[in-house]
Amino acid sequence: MDPARGTDRHDGGSGPWPPPMAGRNDGSAPRQGAFHLYWRLVAISIRAQAQYPGSLLLLSAGHLVVTLLEFLGVWALFDRFRLVRGWSLAEVALFYGLVNLSFALAEAVGRGFDAFDRLVRTGEFDVVLLRPRSEVLLICGQELRLSRAGRFAQGLIILGWGMSSLGLAGRPEVWMRLAWAVAGGTALFCGLFVLQATIAFWTVNSLEVVNTVTYGGVETAQFPIDIYPSAVRAFFTWVVPLASLNYLPLRGLLRGGDPGWVGWAAPLAGFLFLAVSLRLWRFGVRHYTSTGS
C-alpha cells in the first residue's frame, strides 16, 4: 500500500473534491449571521478595553474636554462678530455637532480600516483572507473604539444646546432628520477610512493625503460650507460630499427655500461615497501583495 496516500479518496469517486465542508450548518442559523459575528468579534475588543477601565475613562473624558475646548474657540469668534455670513452661534452649533457625532461614530466603528496599514505590514491580513467571511466584516470586527464616546458626547452636548437655543429640541421630526444625517456622515467618514486603507495596498505607509482630507474635512465642515471660497465648497460637495452630512440637511431647515426632500436625500451621498470606496477596496484586495513568508 502506498503510504503517503489516503485510503479512499483518490479512486475517482464522483462528486466534487474537496467535498463541501462537512461540518457546515446549512440552515445558516441566525446565531451565525453577519451581525451575530460582528458582535462576537467586537465583544472581544470591548473586553480588552474594559481591562483597563481607568485608562478608558480618562481617555474618553480627555477627549470630551479637548473637543469642548475647541468649541470655545468658535464661541470666542462669535462673541466678537455675532454673526458669520449670517449664521448665528446656535446655528453653527448644529453643524458642529453633526460633524463631530458622525466622525466619532466612524472612528469608533471604522477603526479596523483606519489602522489597516498595520494589518498589511504585519501580514495579518493574510489570516483575514483565509476566513470564509466578508473581509469587510472581519476588519470592522477588529476593534470598536470606546474612547470615542468622548467626542460623541461633545457632539451631543453642542448639538443639544444649539437645538434648544433655536427652539427645535421639541420637534421629533427634526431629531429624525438629524439622526439620518449623522448616519450618512458616519458612512462618509467610514468611506474615507476605507479609501485610506485601500491606498495601503500600494504604499505600505497609508497616505497622509487622505488623512488631510479626513481631519481637514472635520475642521472645515464644523462651519456652514457657504463661508468658504467656491473651490473648497465644490470639493466638499462633489468630490468628498461633506456638505451632505450637515450643510444640505440644515440649510432647508434653518433658512427654508430648499424643497423638503433635499434634506432627506442629501445623506444618501455619504452611503454612495462608502459604496464607491468599497468598490475601490475590492480592487485593492486583488493587488494585495502580502509580505515575505
What CA–CA distance (Å, rounded) separates 293 from 274? 33
Handedness of CA 188, 189, 191, 192 (dihedral sign): positive
- Are 208 and 217 in contact by the 8 Å Cβ rule? The answer is no
Q: How far is the CB of 108 from other proteins (least distance, A)?
A: 20
| Set of cell numbers at residue 218 | 472635520
Q: How far is the CB of 200 from other proteins (least distance, A)?
A: 14
How many residues at the interface with other proteins, by CB under 8 A? Answer: 46
Q: Which stretch binds other proteins (CB under 8 A): 119-127, 153-161, 221-229, 259-267?
A: 119-127
Q: Judged by CB under 8 A, which of 118, 131, 171, 255 binds other proteins?
A: 131
Residue with cell 459575528: 37
Torsion from C-alpha of 248, 251, 254, 258, nearest 10 degrees: -100
Q: Which of 95, 105, 225, 224 is nearest to 162 (CA)?
A: 95
Q: Which is nearer to other proteins, 134 or 212 (CB)?
A: 134
Q: Which is nearer to other proteins, 130 or 231 (CB)?
A: 130
Q: Which of 286, 101, 67 is nearest to 187 (CA)?
A: 101
Q: How far is the CB of 282 from other proteins (least distance, A)?
A: 11
Q: Which of residues 31-70 bind other proteins (CB under 8 A)?
A: 31-32, 36-37, 40-41, 44, 48
Q: Which of 125, 102, 83 is nearest to 222 (CA)?
A: 102
Amino acid at 101: L
Q: How far is the CB of 38 from other proteins (least distance, A)?
A: 11
30 lies in the site for other proteins, by CB under 8 A: no
Q: Judged by CB under 8 A, which of 18, 54, 167, 256 binds other proteins?
A: 18
Q: Which is nearer to other proteins, 42 or 183 (CB)?
A: 42
Q: Which is nearer to other proteins, 73 or 132 (CB)?
A: 132
Q: Which stretch binds other proteins (CB under 8 A): 94-102, 109-117, 131-139, 217-225?
A: 131-139
Torsion from C-alpha of 208, 212, 213, 219, nearest 10 degrees: 160
CA distances from 52 to 49, 109, 152, 202, 280 (A): 6, 20, 20, 36, 37
Residue with cell 468658504: 228
The pattern of x and - marking residues 250 through 289 that bind other proteins according to CB under 8 A reads: ------------------------------------xxxx
231 lies in the site for other proteins, by CB under 8 A: no
Amino acid at 36: H
Amino acid at 17: W
22 lies in the site for other proteins, by CB under 8 A: yes
Give me the residues that bind other proteins (CB under 8 A), please: 2-10, 12, 16-25, 28, 31-32, 36-37, 40-41, 44, 48, 123-124, 126-127, 129-134, 286-290, 292-293
